[in-house]
């Protein structure tokens, strides 16, 4: 009887472990010209943003884009422009803003970049290098910026990116790295 009970408990623990493992968040590896950044994506809290980001990653879209806006003490933005500061062809339709998901724009989180239209995010994202409470919902415009992941390894690389020498290119592009900071790839880890 003890053997059967022990076997049943072991089977239940194994099943629980399998179910827990199946619910793990996806992780991506972003290879940049300044080093690698590993990011956990919060699929449950931001399903639309995570699906969008993974689709761009799996299609290879991010390869050859740059971090085009770096502001020390704030964030590093990239994922949509080439080194020549031209929009990379192939952007898909904008997604719904998920800033009401309870996640905060704290240091190390990654969020969707957007225009003044809250539902305008496509491929661009930013890494918060400090706690940016003003970007949380409701932000200055009542909506906020949707956090969908967090750096779990390589925050030193994000700090290096945001600290790179920068320049103003024109009225549109300010805070541009003097030497382009390339995103070589973004790959979903198995």
Q: For residues 153-163, give the mean pLDDT.
A: 98
Any alpha helices (H) in the chain, and if so which ranges? Answer: 2-22, 47-59, 155-162
Q: Considering Cα of 114, then 55, then 189, then 63, what sign does the dihedral take?
A: negative
Give the residue with greater pLDDT, 8 vs 149: 149
pLDDT at 58 over 90: yes
Q: Would you place residue 139 in the very low, low, confident or very high pLDDT band (cuts 50, 70, 90)?
A: confident
Region 136-148: mean pLDDT is 90
pTM of the model: 0.87
Q: How confident is the model at residue 141 (pLDDT cuts 50, 70, 90)?
A: confident
Rounded-to-10 torsion of CA 108, 78, 60, 23: 20
What backbone phi and psi angles, to 5 degrees, belong to 130?
-140, 170
* Interval 99-109: pLDDT, tens: 999 999 999 99
Q: Does domain 25-188 have CATH number 2.40.100.10?
A: yes
Q: How confident is the model at residue 20 (pLDDT cuts 50, 70, 90)?
A: very low
Average pLDDT for residues 49-64, to the nearest whole number? 98
pLDDT tens-digit readout, 67-82: 999 999 999 999 999 9
Q: CA 72, 134, 117, 28 torsion: positive or negative?
A: positive
Cis status, amide bond into 56, omega within 30 of 0: no
Taking residues 164-184, what's their average pLDDT?
94
């Amino acid at each position: 009887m003890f053997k059967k009970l022990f076997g049943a408990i072991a089977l239940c623990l194994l099943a629980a472990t399998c179910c827990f493992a199946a619910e793990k968040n996806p992780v991506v590896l972003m290879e940049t010209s300044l080093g690698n950044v590993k990011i956990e994506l919060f699929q449950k809290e931001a399903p639309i943003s995570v699906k969008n980001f993974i689709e761009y990653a799996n299609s290879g879209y991010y390869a050859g884009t740059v971090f085009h806006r770096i502001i020390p003490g704030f964030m590093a933005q990239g994922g949509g422009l080439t080194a020549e500061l031209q929009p990379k062809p192939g952007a898909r339709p904008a997604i719904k803003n998920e800033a009401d998901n309870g996640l905060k724009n704290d240091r190390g989180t990654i969020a969707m970049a957007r225009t003044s239209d809250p539902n305008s995010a496509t491929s661009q994202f930013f890494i918060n290098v400090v706690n940016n409470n003003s970007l949380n919902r409701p932000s200055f415009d009542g909506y906020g910026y949707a956090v969908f992941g967090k750096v779990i390894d390589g925050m030193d690389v994000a700090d290096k990116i945001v600290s790179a020498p920068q320049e103003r290119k024109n009225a549109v592009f300010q805070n541009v790295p003097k030497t382009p900071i390339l995103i070589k790839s973004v790959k979903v880890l198995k």
